[in-house]
């Protein structure tokens, strides 16, 4: 586990360094362009997610560009059910704030460029959590007071393919982001009113693969 964790940290660091190097290097190169990207969508559990990203790209030729970027993302989180086995009556909500750092390639699907041109784009990078979504809910069952707390956030490597159409400096596309590690830390504390004391504390940490489906509008600067 220690070796696996170290290898994972090395991969994260390598991607972040490559992304930052690409951004700085391209910003001073010729045949370079900047993009401002706005996206809105939902997770697979239909939670809203929005983001804004800046991308610096260097065109190798008229049809292919490579670059890097970073952004700022908002993702909503909802506590639907108690993962310890008891359904909840109400839903608790909060949100997480995240910074994606990534490499990007972009190109035209067709060799000939038209006024309206289909394109593809692929991003890969690392998501750094800026703020966790902390949700707390309490309820009483059989005179036992239960407090459930969930910390939800996206953190880790991700991969995001996209297809769309471009017209002059504007493009619209659909993206699917696959997150390698969507983490949730769950804590459940049980208080017995009859005994007048906490009787147990349970912990549950899960890592799930997160999907975010987004519609994107990108403008070339």
State both tokens at 155.
């953190």
This prediction has a pTM of 0.73
Handedness of CA 39, 42, 43, 44 (dihedral sign): negative
DSSP string for residues in 3-70: HHHHHHHHHHHHHHHHHHHHHHHHHTSSSEEEEEEEEEEEETT--EEEEEEEEEEEESSSSEEEEEEE
Average pLDDT (28-53) is: 84
- According to the model, what pLDDT value does residue 153 have? 67
How much of the chain exceeds pLDDT 70, in percent?
70
Any idea where the domains of the chain sit in the sequence?
2-133+155-181+210-220
- According to the model, what pLDDT value does residue 51 have? 95
Residue 96, pLDDT > 50, answer yes
Provide the 3-class DSSP secondary structure of residue 207: strand
As beta bridge partners, residue 77 has: 94
- According to the model, what pLDDT value does residue 3 have? 41
The answer to whether 68 and 55 are in contact (CB under 8 A) is yes
d(C-alpha 202, C-alpha 91), whole Å: 20
Q: When comparing pLDDT for 31 and 19, which is higher?
A: 31
| pLDDT, averaged across the chain | 77
Burial of 135 (0-12, 13-18, 19+ CB in 10 A): buried
Residue 40, pLDDT > 50, answer yes
- According to the model, what pLDDT value does residue 6 have? 42
- According to the model, what pLDDT value does residue 18 have? 62
pLDDT digits (tens, 9 = 90+) for 158-215: 899 999 999 988 999 999 999 876 556 677 777 777 777 777 777 666 666 678 999 9
Average pLDDT (141-168) is: 81
Average pLDDT (113-138) is: 85
- According to the model, what pLDDT value does residue 173 have? 96
| Angle formed at CA 36 by CA 216 and CA 208, multiple of 5 degrees | 50
State both tokens at 150.
């969930």
CATH class of 2-133+155-181+210-220: mainly beta
- According to the model, what pLDDT value does residue 133 have? 78
Q: How many CB atoms lie within 10 A of CB 54?
A: 15
**Nearest by Cα to 189 from 174, 199, 179:** 199
């Amino acid at each position: 586990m220690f070796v696996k964790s170290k290898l994972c940290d090395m991969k994260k660091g390598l991607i972040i360094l490559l992304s930052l190097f690409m951004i700085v290097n391209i910003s001073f190169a010729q045949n370079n362009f900047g993009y401002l990207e706005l996206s809105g969508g939902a997770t697979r559990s239909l939670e809203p997610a929005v983001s804004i990203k800046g991308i610096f790209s260097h065109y190798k030729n008229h049809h292919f560009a490579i670059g890097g970027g970073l952004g700022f993302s908002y993702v909503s989180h909802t506590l639907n059910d108690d993962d310890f086995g008891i359904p909840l009556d109400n839903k608790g909500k909060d949100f997480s704030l995240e910074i994606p750092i990534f490499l990007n390639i972009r190109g035209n699907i067709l060799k000939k460029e038209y006024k309206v041109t289909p394109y593809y784009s692929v991003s890969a990078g690392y998501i750094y959590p800026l703020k966790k979504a902390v949700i707390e809910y309490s309820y009483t069952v059989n005179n036992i007071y239960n407090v459930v707390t969930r910390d939800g956030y996206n953190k880790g490597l991700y991969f995001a393919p996209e297809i769309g159409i471009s017209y002059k400096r504007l493009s619209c596309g659909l993206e699917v982001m696959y997150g390698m590690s969507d983490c949730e830390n769950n804590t459940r504390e049980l208080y017995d009113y009859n005994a007048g004391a906490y009787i147990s504390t349970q912990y549950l940490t899960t890592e799930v693969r997160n999907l975010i489906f987004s519609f994107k509008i990108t403008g070339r600067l």
